[in-house]
Amino acid sequence: QVQLVESGGGVVQPGRSLRLSCAASGFTFSRYVLHWVRQAPGKGLEWVALISYDGSDKYYADSVKGRFTISRDNSKNTLYVQMNSLRAEDTAVYYCARVYGSGYGGGMDVWGQGTTVTVSS
C-alpha cells in the first residue's frame, strides 16, 4: 500500500547534526512533490521544507533556512532532511508528507508516522 516511513530521529545535543530519512513505497515516488512538516510537543503543525519531483527546487521555512537541507534520491525512493546547528526549538516530531496530485500546491494526502527529534544537552 501507499506508505511513507520516517527514520533517523533521536536525542542530539544543541549545535550537532542529524539526518532524517523517509522511505516511500506503493507509488511512483519521482512523480510527487514532498514536504517535511514538524510538530513540537503539545503544539501545532509547522511546515519545514518542500522539494520538487527531481530535487531541483527546494523551499524552506525561515526558521530552518540555512541550517536544514532537504534532498531526495528517486532511485532509492527516499526523502531526506539534513539538520545542522540544531537548537532546542527544533525538538519535534518530524513528518514527511506527499503532495496530492501534480504540482506544488494541493493538500498533503499521505503522511508518515513521524520520527521524534529531541535537542537537549
Partner 1 sequence: EIVMTQSPATLSVSPGERATLSCRASQSIYINLAWYQQKPGQAPRLLIYGASTRATGIPARFSGSGSGTEFTLTISSLQSEDFAVYYCQHYNNWPPYSFGQGTKLEIK
Q: Which is nearer to partner 1, 7 or 14 (CB)?
A: 7
With CB under 8 A as the contact rule, the residue among 21, 23, 27, 46 that binds partner 1 is 46
Site size toward partner 1, by CB under 8 A:
24
Q: Is 68 in the site for partner 1 (CB under 8 A)?
A: no
What nine digits make up the cell of 120? 537537549
Query: In the sheet where 18-25 sits, what is the strand order?
Result: 3-7, 18-25, 78-83, 68-73
Q: Which is nearer to partner 1, 23 or 108 (CB)?
A: 108
Q: Is 27 in the site for partner 1 (CB under 8 A)?
A: no
Q: How far apart are CA 34 and CA 12, in angstroms?
A: 25
Q: Which is nearer to partner 1, 16 or 65 (CB)?
A: 65
DSSP-based helix, strand, coil % in the chain, nearest 5: 5, 50, 45
